[in-house]
Amino acid sequence: MKHRYWVIAAAVIYSTPAMADSTEARCDIYPAGSDKVEKMLPCTFSQRQGFISIARNDDIRYELSPSGDAVGNFKDQQGRIVYRQSGLGDQGLIFRFPDISVFVYWSTAGLEPSDKDNPTAPFVTKDYDATTLLRCRGSGQTDFGTCAAGILRMEDGQASVVVLSPKGQAIHD
């Protein structure tokens, strides 16, 4: 009788599905080799047993499988090589595809609309190490205005600066 209960318990344990970690995030998309963001949009980041999924809200999805023995090397669903890089510290991850780079930020604050009570909105010190207003102007404009910016501390004493252009477009440095 004891053996029967052990078999049932083992069957329950082994039939439990593997859990995946998943979180809502912000994806900043850059053309390969560019330092100008092309798109900033909500996305969902998931990982399970070394596999990664990034689902953008514009219906583009990346399915990454570990590749080789080196940590951070993946292949996407088309078989292309993708590299995961550090550099955003605890703020997110960078994925380098052949034609684009995807910066995944855990904070979605940059996606939120401006707040009249906070001149540096959508950047707030809850999500960024510092915020500020910078003097700026759009291409072809003669008058300067102000642009909100958020600053994140990164590894090795570096920083990531995100500035909203006069048109509301995020620009990363």
For residue 74, how far is the Cα from the chain centroid?
A: 17
Range of the domain at 125: 110-172
Which of the two residues, 172 and 69, has the higher pLDDT score?
69
What is the per-residue pLDDT across 77-115, written as a single tens digit (0 to 9) for each? 999 999 999 888 888 999 999 999 999 998 887 776 656
Tell which of 73, 105, 137 closes a domain: 105
Residues 6+ apart with CB under 8 A from 145: 135, 136, 137, 166
Q: Are residues 78 and 120 in the same domain?
A: no
Q: Are residues 50 and 116 in the same domain?
A: no
Which of the two residues, 107 and 9, has the higher pLDDT score?
107
CA distance 113 to 136: 19
Which of 41, 49, 127, 38 lies closest to 88 in space, CA to CA? Answer: 127
E strand intervals along 18-169: 21-31, 39-48, 51-56, 61-66, 73-75, 81-85, 92-96, 100-105, 130-136, 145-153, 159-164
What's this model's pTM, rounded to 2 decimal places?
Answer: 0.60
- Tell me, yes or no, whether 1 lies in a domain: no
What is the per-residue pLDDT across 13-47, written as a single tens digit (0 to 9) for each? 444 444 558 999 999 999 998 878 888 899 999 99
